[in-house]
Amino acid sequence: MLQIIIQGRGGQGAQTAGHLLATAFFAQGRQVQAFSSYGGARRGTPVSSFIRVDDRPIRLRCDIERADAILCFDASLLQGPLLAAARPDTLLVVNSSRPPEHYAAALPGHRVIAVDALAISRRHGLGRIVNSALLGAFARAVEAPGLDVLTRALTDEAPKLHDENIAACEDGYRRVDAQLRRLAA
Task: Give domain limits for the chain.
Answer: 2-184
pLDDT in tens, the chain (185 residues): 999 999 998 888 889 999 999 999 999 999 999 998 876 666 778 899 999 999 999 999 888 999 999 999 999 999 988 999 999 889 999 999 998 889 888 888 888 999 999 999 999 999 998 999 999 999 999 999 999 999 999 999 877 899 999 999 999 999 999 999 998 88
State how far the Cα of 185 lies from the Cα of 122, in Å rounded to an integer: 30
Q: Which CATH superfamily is domain 2-184 in?
A: Pyruvate-ferredoxin oxidoreductase, PFOR, domain III (3.40.920.10)
| pTM of this structure | 0.94
Q: For the stretch 128-152, what's the b/e string if a residue is b when 16 or more beta carbons lie within 10 angstroms of its beta carbon?
A: ebbbbbbbbbbbbbbebbebebbbb
Backbone dihedral angles phi then psi of residue 109, each to the nearest 5 degrees: 90, -10
Element (H, E) at 132: helix 131-142
Encoded amino acid at 171, one letter: D
